[in-house]
């Protein structure tokens, strides 16, 4: 995959990393990381990974090597939850 020369700090991305082949069925396996760019030097991407939306995984800082990246694309910020509508049944 051709990677960009520059990625601005603070950009929110999804990065797909190849993890090799599954030993049972031989199919390729991938892991996706979503978060904000801290630094990109063309060889490694430092990303502040977002916490899982359901709370199952906290946020973390990860370093991803460029040679393992198979996809990279910008994604919009998460929408904040809407406040509950007022109770008008009274």
At 13-51, the pLDDT tens digits run 999 999 999 999 999 999 999 999 999 999 999 999 999
For the question of whether the overall pTM of this predicted structure is more than 0.75, the answer is yes
CA 44, CA 50: separation in Å to the nearest integer? 18
Of 42, 18, 12, 48, whose CA–CA distance to 32 is shortest? 18
pLDDT reading at 83 higher than 80: no
- Give Dmax over CA atoms of the chain in angstroms: 61
């Amino acid at each position: 995959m051709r990677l960009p020369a520059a990625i601005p700090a603070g950009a929110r991305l999804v990065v797909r990393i190849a993890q090799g082949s599954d030993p049972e069925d031989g199919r390729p396996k991938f892991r996706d990381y979503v978060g904000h760019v801290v630094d990109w030097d063309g060889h490694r991407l430092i990303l502040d990974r977002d916490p899982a939306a359901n709370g199952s995984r906290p946020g973390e800082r990860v370093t991803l090597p460029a040679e393992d990246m198979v996809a990279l694309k910008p994604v919009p910020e998460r929408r904040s939850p809407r406040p509950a509508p007022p109770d008008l049944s009274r």
